[in-house]
Amino acid sequence: MQTKLIPALDLIDGEVVRLFKGDYHQKKVYKNDPQILLKEYEKAGAKELHLVDLSGAKDPSKRQLALIEKLSRCVSVDLQVGGGIRSKEEVKALLDSGVKRVVIGSLAIKNPELCLELLKEFGNEAIVLALDVVLKEDYKVVINAWQEESDKKLMEVLEFYAEKKLKHILCTDISKDGTMQGPNVRLYQLIYDIFPHINVQASGGVSSLEDLKRLSGICSGVIVGKALLEGIFNVQEGIKCLQNA
């Protein structure tokens, strides 16, 4: 499996930001134009890009749809978007705006019937399930912008959706997100060992090229946000690292 680097931007009211462990009160704003950044990432060789609409995640009425459409039209590579998607109408609006894949989070746990309907209607290439986890005795899925721990175990959820032809997931260990402390490689190896046919995007904690090497071959993609914004490494270096791992 060739693992891709997927540069990511989190957006609040049009601004590029990073949160620490998903906390809106621990926010760092970057004075970068998101359109310029995405074009730079594409020019550097990225084949996929990832956006999180944090305004829409907090309040669906503030979904940054016009901005997302503008950003999707400014690049020719695949763009996937997430952030509190709650309805079929939102999925359709995003896909119509030029987005390649829509990331579904809490809905996968709270309304599996609707989630299966989305997979069937839009196809398993267009839907990515975001399964964010916290390790207790087992990996438990957290929902509602990481504010609530569900009663669902990650492996049980994956087993359920795998039988329904799920193809793409985005998995985040929330204890790692925004921390620059390295990814939870053990978690991604576990998923790969049990569900090798599911494409797993790793997210959270990537802070070095060495982290990318450790994820190569067990994930379809690695989502990197803060490390790129902070200049720890650039897109070209990340892509080369994964190609040579």
β-partners of residue 203 are: 172, 223
For residue 186, the SS3 value is helix
Active site residue 193: no
Q: How far apart are CA 132 and CA 139, in angstroms?
A: 9
Element (H, E) at 41: helix 34-43
What tokens does 65 get?
């749809």
Q: How many Å apart are CA 76 and CA 60, to the nearest integer? A: 27
Q: Which of 10, 53, 177, 211 is catalytic?
A: 10
Pairwise CA distance, residues 21 & 117, whole Å: 31
Residue in the structure block whose two tokens are 């690695």: 222
State the Rg of the chain over Cα: 16
Token readout for 67 is: 């901005």
Burial class (CB in 10 A: 0-12, 13-18, 19+), 197: exposed
Residue position matching structure tokens 């993609």: 221
Rounded distance, CA 98 to CA 96, Å? 5
Catalytic residue among 53, 132, 173, 177: 132
CB 50 within 8 A of CB 235: no
**Known active-site residue 23:** no
Would strands 4-12 and 48-53 be described as parallel, antiparallel, or unpaired?
A: parallel
Question: Which residues are marked as active site?
Answer: 10, 132
